[in-house]
Amino acid sequence: MFLAAARLIAEHGYAGTSIRMIAREAEASPASLFNLFAGKDELLNELILYLAQPSLAFYGDLEAEVGAGAAPSAALYRMVFEEARLVASVDRAYVAVFLLPELRQSQFGPARAARRALVAHYQRLILGGLGDGTLVCDQPHLAAEQLFQLTETSLIMDETQPPLSPDDLARATARFCLRGLLADPARLADLEAEAAQLRSSLILPQV
């Protein structure tokens, strides 16, 4: 049902998608959807919360590894890599719902709160890297938002270029992001090796 909703919203826009359309696509009755959700706004909030949960759990696991002694910059590389790989691996409709302009409206407070929580993990790791001297950054909050946006949109590429595998896309994204933040960019290869040793993994949401 969530995939049906995401695909219709990606194709027709949020305003152009109705509960009846979603029910028809999901081979369900409109009444059954209204039993689950008060309306389309609640459905979208729940969809984004559902999609955010695997990333939030993964980010929390990474921060726990940092608390146990892992380097914040290595955790940040792993965070960007895994998130970009997930974005490149799931149905593009799921990515599209995170970019809807309607999410700025007040009824989507739960969805915006989930997004802020995701970005806050990036910021904490950046601050950790600034603290140990491995990263340099003028505006940590802005950098966190920019990194998150890059992972969200990393699969939007010029279709005339050869397609990249999810792993290749994720690696290129993580290298681009960390090379710009490292106090010593020559440490990038060592950072990749450190990131590969971290135990935490991002599990694709069950769709």
**DSSP-assigned beta bridge partners for residue 182:** 135
What pTM was computed for the model? Answer: 0.90
Of the candidates 183, 172, 93, 171, the one whose C-alpha atom is nearest the C-alpha of residue 137 is 183
Instruction: State how far the Cα of 54 lies from the Cα of 51, in Å rounded to an integer.
Output: 7
Q: Along the 207 residues of the chain, how does pLDDT read in single tens digits?
A: 788 888 899 889 999 998 889 888 888 888 888 888 888 999 999 999 998 999 999 999 999 999 999 999 999 999 999 999 998 888 888 888 888 999 999 999 999 999 999 999 999 999 999 999 999 999 999 999 999 999 888 766 656 567 788 999 999 999 999 999 999 999 999 999 999 999 998 887 665
Domains and CATH numbers, the chain: 45-196 (1.10.357.10)
Max distance between CA atoms of the chain, in angstroms, equals 59
Which of 173, 164, 165 is CA-nearest to residue 195?
173
Phi, psi of 100 (to 5 degrees): -65, 130
